[in-house]
Structure 1
């Protein structure tokens, strides 16, 4: 239970949960308390001879508290609005005590103290060894007449007192609605040290609400301005102070103000009061592994800090007074050299979830965090879906789809009869309209589920009362039925139902008095469905249901409702998913509300009604893949120059137009991860005088063909390790090349706008195709169609069949043209020749239907030139890299960017190797990516400059670079 584990203050007998919401703790004083309604000698006896000795009086914004040291006595709360008098007491408390014939004097040279606090060490009871006693006699010196109680006594008269935690048992508060007087004697201070501020707060409580808030705010501001950070708490003399400001520590239902100090080594939080278990919270920057901006009360003012396991402080949630101050603290922390944040992996979590590398539970928790949901904020507690709809059967069959809830509908729309009545009311409602009068996640709903382990939070939220016993969380079946049929119950679940933690929240350990149900039974454990034999078994079944195939294939619908495009607007109306307008981010600007009453009303409503998560997706969320690819073995299949197209996983998927003879020319290389990591440089050579722009490895692995900005086509023999051909194809740079399946013809694109067909067999150019009005950027042949892209903003398609002994060379024939808004820099075609993907010089990715020559979609993925594009094996995702140093993955069906990685370095080229992706970087590094996890698994430094092209075949990886070098790597 995350917030209970981190909130150590709630474990103390007196804590901030006893305060009213929004109340601020000031300070405390050591006192003796003299109960009201007792004769004077009984009051003294009660104070000095019982547990009411040695107590504290705690001063707050709208209440005063008396906390006895002994736990058998209740904590007393005096709400200032019910206080009729607060003044100095000078009634001569001790003057009337008759002590005649009551007093004994013992004079002793040595005493022994024993069992102090009943601990076998120094003691409370005083022993007087008679051998050391010098006098024992009656005392008549008037013991109390010499006690100076002037300026030490305070009287509080109150019309209503609240008693809490008697015998330290958590039970509903007792409201004593009768006049009473309470007298306190101060131990270490005088009346003038505390009475003026109590009277000041008392006066504020008698004012109208607006004036009361203004006066209290002035008092709080004055007190805070006088408090400075105690620099003696700095741990290191060499720490440099980076920032100091005021802020609040946020824990569930509690806001505790203090001062924040950031140095180059440590973040400090010093509360304005002494209620925390330690006077200053210290977090070493080197212990922090996550730093997240948060929305608090619909304002971007929060920052949540998570630390590594084993750190002295593992978590801290702070809020500041404005977004500017929050951002200043956030960025100044990130600037410190000691801060070493773990890569959050947020940009690739959707991809990892789709591929099955993280569970549904982990992905939902990630989305909750991304949407500003936190265990430290009950108004934005993580929300999870009801999954199972059957809580009455004796057996739960997760292969039966009927046992699952419909994840495409919100809870309020699962019951057709109820939602129809709700729609009728919605149609007749004036603006702003809403379907549901309550939210699916509120502090009350969270504590409804957690009442058994967080009863004190329930009392805090519900003004010292528990709910009616029969309305508590007693049964899973009853709760589910009420969510389906109740007129105002639309709550979802919380992470505790699916987390691997022990299911304590389903047990009643009997330490709290929740009351008696109508059937005469006390509140016990939660009644489970018949198919669960224990709370542990129940949670295990729910976890299995959450990870089941049915839920995995439908979970994206629920994500659309809670975090996605069905959360707001027209799509939300269509999905019956409209809540009160104040629950949405951006609906209310609290900073613009000048009326204190209106602002307070808004804040209370925001806190109590619930908050919709931040909207994360504006388009349909992609579906999870049901059959993730195996990762242990990967196949690298060299097809006819499909450098930007994923390789089919077996030979049956090869081009339908290839002949059987052509099929036998393909070779397959099997790499496992270890082999890729152990690649060794086999050979390097330099033939070109300028950057290598593209290369092809012959299918038999004997020759390498390469083109360069030096305008030459080169043919290099790996067997003889020498150059066989050097052809000056054009007067300008050559951009690309592809070796056709006959191994006899190579197609070359040039900056002179032309495409050249070169015969390897005859050593001459067979045809010069005047293809474009600007440089040809890429050529690609598949299924007898040649695709040529150009900086003239077009892609052209040409019908071309490679020559053979039986079929002489036939020039390419124009088929069609695809127009773009800017120059086309790269292209990719799927293996079925149905989809064309192009990347432009201005950062656009365009998807085309090849058969109809119709543009399907366009996406502005990059801020500058797209260097390379490729498709995944299933043709559902597009990978792209750009000059902006981003690597991105786009889900084609939904148009969602499911992976975004800022690499700080450009990726210049792609090549699929089975399930792995090989990339060449601008720094000359060859990287192997496991794209199911979105991680680099192997790195090899090959070139002194950018790697511009890659090819694979015959247990060999070949790369060319801007350093004019061609490198060969073998197993």
Structure 2
């Protein structure tokens, strides 16, 4: 239990605590037996006396209720200040958390100071009393001046440092933020440690320390619509695992952030949103964890009630005896905001909206604001509600009493559109926010029933069971199928602008980031009005996505997995053989049974037998480089050449079966479709052609099935089946990817992905492709939303790409490095120095579990793949 009952939550939100004095308090002008020993807290808007004995309540004297403050000097009372008030409040009597008791009567309080000078204290009190007579903006300005004056006099105490040899790099006036509380103080940064020294002695420790090498994540935060916040997460096991700071200016915040990020002692865990999105889409990050991550990324923090994390209503049935998550009727429509779920109410709101002048808004209240958050959490954090509502709880009938009533209200009330908070889905806390843990007397409702615990739906046996079932609903197939639509509304492209209007998702303009720049508002009254509105009304999260969010891949969410389940999905590579057959760079290689077939820049084709470990075929097909090769039959290999020809070579009999002019410029890439017996070729003439009579002597040209024109040279080709339809995918030298419908011969989509030539494309799943570029970028594109969901620079250049058909990807780097990636966990698993020069070709042979690589260094290597267990 804390040694002191006083906390900043006993003050008004934003009120500043300066210092305290040891004294004795009495209501008579003498220190008699009724005098109470304790400490007097000097704050910006009030005086708070904290008795030493817990039987007595704390006394709060608001300066604006004071009629006189002066010193008293008599024989009975020396070094004394008398405070006359016309009303005061009593708090925490017998240390019981309850609404404050307000006494509306004239009263004199005498404070007999033990050590401090009453004259000096009086000067400060009278100054603050004068400030209390001013309007809020002028009052805030005066308090800020007093605070700055104290800051300028404050010297950081080096005795508090861990090492006396440490040198301070920079110092700033900051605030340490916790819900409804701002601790003012000084931040000092050294090469090894971040220190925060509060102005007052309210903190349990005189100084707050966080080691730089324990910092794991740093987020720039928007605090009260200003870019001045910085949230730092440390190692969970460290004594100080979290810190939220607010700076005087954005420049101060950015300076500290830059120093920390550049410090050699800071080793941050960098998780990019694209990486997390892919992991969520793959089903290894839960819906709950993904929503927590998006909230964090969009400036939502549990330390800031104006920007508390937002979670959706998911279940729409709070009256049934049982609940079936296999039924869509059990769920809320996630494609609509709460205000649009009831068509009758929406119609009335739209009528009002159309009659409004600009800037229009559809909803007069927000889905997340401090009052709404505490409406849900008042039983868990009653002290926050008392702080926010000046020592009072809500009227018992307006409190969070029943899940059924709250959901009904959110559907029908013309001013209630709130969403939920993470606690509804946090199984670790077991639904403790639904229970009156502290036995607080919240009062009685109109029917005489006392407000105790939240009434749960019939299908919930207990608060713990209720939260477990809500979490089960959040992770259900239905929610996983449609959660991206809710993300679009809250964090995505439907959050603002024309799309928000279409989606009936328009709130008051003050709620949106960038709508108001408080630093540019110089009128104190206007600025204060906006700050109050921000505090009370709520803020729209920072927009994270400007295009439709990707869907989750439903078939793979039968069980909630974690990244650890996938950590071992990796291959160990052992080099079985290094083959030196060619005199120049090897452009393409493939394996068919025990034979390795390769084509070279010098126009030669070679066949190597892996059992005999020797070359068995060698033929010069032409005088120009050969670019590519694929098997188009049991023994026939098709070879693309820079002389515009495609050659068909019989490996078994060692002869050229046929050659035909396939393009008007070099043939650059080939792909064989065994199911349809189709050969796809791509040329530098910007054309992709599909051939159907390949292997039938003299019939190839007559078998031209399709022809697709592009703007740039064709650098790579692939295909996919979608709803039993065949689509041809082509990457170009312009960095674009084209998708063609083979049946209709129509262009389905053209996507600009890279700024340099696309050197490889692989189909991850039906709706996602991985591409690599000449600039060394790896990119994952979701074809349902035509949007890149992940991009990363992996090498100086990437010249080849290959997939094992499941999750593992291999990329050929520019310096001969072979990169292995797991595209489920979206992580690079390994990097091998495979060759001495560019890796031009990678071929995966599932039958032999080998990987074949070919390089500009003239060598071919055979790698045995062993899955790491």
TM-score normalised by length of structure 1: 0.83
Determine the structure 2 residue equivalent to 1:914.
805
Determine the structure 2 residue equivalent to 1:787.
680
For residue 331 of structure 1, give the secondary structure of its aligned residue in structure 2: helix
Determine the structure 2 residue equivalent to 1:45.
33
Is residue 2:307 matched to residue 1:319? no
Measured against aligned partners, the alpha-carbon deviations of 1:611-657 in whole angstroms (never above 9, x if no partner) come to 111222222222222212999xxxxxxxxxxxxxxxxxxxxxxxxxx
User: If you compute each CA radius of gyration, which structure gives the higher value, 1 or 2?
Assistant: 1
Of 453, 474, 484, 1:546 maps to 474
Of 18, 26, 34, 1:34 maps to 26
Of 865, 879, 883, 2:757 maps to 865
| 1:93 CA drift (Å) | 2.6
| 1:458 CA drift (Å) | 0.1
Cα pair 1:170 1:513 within 8 Å, conserved: no
Q: Which piece of structure 1 moves more, 199-208 or 327-336? A: 199-208
Determine the structure 2 residue equivalent to 1:597.
525
Determine the structure 2 residue equivalent to 1:71.
54
| 1:595 CA drift (Å) | 0.8
Of 512, 523, 532, 1:584 maps to 512
| 1:965 CA drift (Å) | 1.9
Summarize the Cα distance change of 1:673–1:722 in structure 2 as closer, same or farther, 3 Å threshold: farther
Summarize the Cα distance change of 1:817–1:343 in structure 2 as closer, same or farther, 3 Å threshold: same
Summarize the Cα distance change of 1:213–1:680 in structure 2 as closer, same or farther, 3 Å threshold: closer
Distance in structure 2 (CA, Å) of the matches to 1:396 and 1:675: 37
Determine the structure 1 residue equivalent to 2:585.
691
Is residue 2:204 matched to residue 1:277? yes
Query: Which structure 2 residues correspond to residues 741-760 of structure 1 after superposition, within 5 A?
Result: 741-750=633-642, 754-760=645-651
Summarize the Cα distance change of 1:347–1:289 in structure 2 as closer, same or farther, 3 Å threshold: same
| 1:604 CA drift (Å) | 1.1
Summarize the Cα distance change of 1:921–1:747 in structure 2 as closer, same or farther, 3 Å threshold: closer
Measured against aligned partners, the alpha-carbon deviations of 1:729-767 in whole angstroms (never above 9, x if no partner) come to 4544433222322422322232x5554444544534832
Summarize the Cα distance change of 1:607–1:820 in structure 2 as closer, same or farther, 3 Å threshold: farther
Summarize the Cα distance change of 1:508–1:209 in structure 2 as closer, same or farther, 3 Å threshold: closer
Distance in structure 2 (CA, Å) of the matches to 1:34 and 1:209: 32
For residue 539 of structure 1, give the secondary structure of its aligned residue in structure 2: helix
| 1:678 CA drift (Å) | 4.4
Summarize the Cα distance change of 1:895–1:810 in structure 2 as closer, same or farther, 3 Å threshold: closer
Determine the structure 1 residue equivalent to 2:552.
624
Cα pair 1:845 1:858 within 8 Å, conserved: yes
| 1:447 CA drift (Å) | 0.6
Determine the structure 2 residue equivalent to 1:564.
492
Measured against aligned partners, the alpha-carbon deviations of 1:319-364 in whole angstroms (never above 9, x if no partner) come to 2223332222222112122222224253222222222212221222
Of 767, 771, 777, 2:668 maps to 777
Cα pair 2:693 2:703 within 8 Å, conserved: no
Measured against aligned partners, the alpha-carbon deviations of 1:89-119 in whole angstroms (never above 9, x if no partner) come to 223335xxxxxxxxxxxxxxxxxxxxxxxxx
Is residue 2:214 matched to residue 1:287? yes
Unaligned runs of 5+ in 2: 560-565
Is residue 2:839 matched to residue 1:950? no
Distance in structure 1 (CA, Å) of the matches to 2:181 and 2:567: 51
Q: Which piece of structure 1 moves more, 75-84 or 702-711? A: 702-711
Determine the structure 1 residue equivalent to 2:71.
88
For residue 305 of structure 1, give the secondary structure of its aligned residue in structure 2: strand
For residue 834 of structure 1, give the secondary structure of its aligned residue in structure 2: strand
Determine the structure 1 residue equivalent to 2:782.
891
Query: Which structure 2 residues correspond to residues 459-474 of structure 1 after superposition, within 5 A?
Result: 459-474=386-401
| 1:377 CA drift (Å) | 1.0
Determine the structure 2 residue equivalent to 1:648.
none
Cα pair 2:477 2:557 within 8 Å, conserved: no
Query: Which structure 2 residues correspond to residues 366-381 of structure 1 after superposition, within 5 A?
Result: 366-381=293-308
For residue 409 of structure 1, give the secondary structure of its aligned residue in structure 2: coil
Distance in structure 2 (CA, Å) of the matches to 1:20 and 1:261: 28
Cα pair 1:796 1:814 within 8 Å, conserved: no
For residue 582 of structure 1, give the secondary structure of its aligned residue in structure 2: helix
For residue 633 of structure 2, give the secondary structure of its aligned residue in structure 1: coil
Determine the structure 1 residue equivalent to 2:81.
154
Determine the structure 2 residue equivalent to 1:306.
233
For residue 286 of structure 1, give the secondary structure of its aligned residue in structure 2: helix
Q: Which piece of structure 1 moves more, 414-423 or 491-500? A: 414-423
Q: Which piece of structure 1 moves more, 227-236 or 494-503? A: 227-236
Determine the structure 1 residue equivalent to 2:863.
969
Is residue 2:747 matched to residue 1:855? yes
- RMSD over aligned Cα, in angstroms? 2.7
Is residue 2:769 matched to residue 1:878? yes
| 1:854 CA drift (Å) | 3.3
Determine the structure 1 residue equivalent to 2:626.
734
Is residue 2:221 matched to residue 1:331? no
Measured against aligned partners, the alpha-carbon deviations of 1:490-518 in whole angstroms (never above 9, x if no partner) come to 11111111111221111113442212222
For residue 33 of structure 2, give the secondary structure of its aligned residue in structure 1: helix
Determine the structure 1 residue equivalent to 2:718.
828
Distance in structure 1 (CA, Å) of the matches to 2:498 and 2:209: 48
Determine the structure 1 residue equivalent to 2:693.
801
Q: How many residues were matched structurally?
A: 851
Query: Which structure 2 residues correspond to residues 322-721 of structure 1 after superposition, within 5 A?
Result: 322-344=249-271, 346-500=273-427, 501-628=429-556, 677-698=571-592, 701-721=593-613
For residue 496 of structure 1, give the secondary structure of its aligned residue in structure 2: helix
For residue 854 of structure 2, give the secondary structure of its aligned residue in structure 1: strand
Measured against aligned partners, the alpha-carbon deviations of 1:60-112 in whole angstroms (never above 9, x if no partner) come to 22222222122222222222222222222223335xxxxxxxxxxxxxxxxxx
Unaligned runs of 5+ in 1: 1-7, 95-148, 632-671
Q: Which piece of structure 1 moves more, 364-373 or 338-347? A: 338-347
Distance in structure 1 (CA, Å) of the matches to 2:146 and 2:754: 53
Cα pair 1:155 1:184 within 8 Å, conserved: yes
| 1:588 CA drift (Å) | 1.2
Cα pair 2:692 2:705 within 8 Å, conserved: no
Cα pair 1:767 1:811 within 8 Å, conserved: no
Cα pair 1:381 1:441 within 8 Å, conserved: yes
Cα pair 1:563 1:617 within 8 Å, conserved: yes
Is residue 2:210 matched to residue 1:222? no
For residue 32 of structure 2, give the secondary structure of its aligned residue in structure 1: helix
Determine the structure 2 residue equivalent to 1:15.
7
Determine the structure 2 residue equivalent to 1:664.
none
Cα pair 2:767 2:784 within 8 Å, conserved: yes
For residue 480 of structure 1, give the secondary structure of its aligned residue in structure 2: helix
Cα pair 1:742 1:802 within 8 Å, conserved: no
Q: Which piece of structure 1 moves more, 277-286 or 333-342? A: 333-342
Cα pair 1:946 1:963 within 8 Å, conserved: yes
| 1:520 CA drift (Å) | 2.7
Is residue 2:153 matched to residue 1:206? no
Summarize the Cα distance change of 1:862–1:473 in structure 2 as closer, same or farther, 3 Å threshold: same
For residue 408 of structure 2, give the secondary structure of its aligned residue in structure 1: helix
Determine the structure 2 residue equivalent to 1:126.
none
For residue 555 of structure 2, give the secondary structure of its aligned residue in structure 1: coil
Distance in structure 1 (CA, Å) of the matches to 2:94 and 2:110: 22
| 1:768 CA drift (Å) | 5.1
Cα pair 1:629 1:915 within 8 Å, conserved: no
Distance in structure 1 (CA, Å) of the matches to 2:743 and 2:219: 47
Summarize the Cα distance change of 1:188–1:818 in structure 2 as closer, same or farther, 3 Å threshold: farther
Distance in structure 2 (CA, Å) of the matches to 1:739 and 1:561: 49
Cα pair 2:366 2:507 within 8 Å, conserved: yes
For residue 197 of structure 2, give the secondary structure of its aligned residue in structure 1: strand
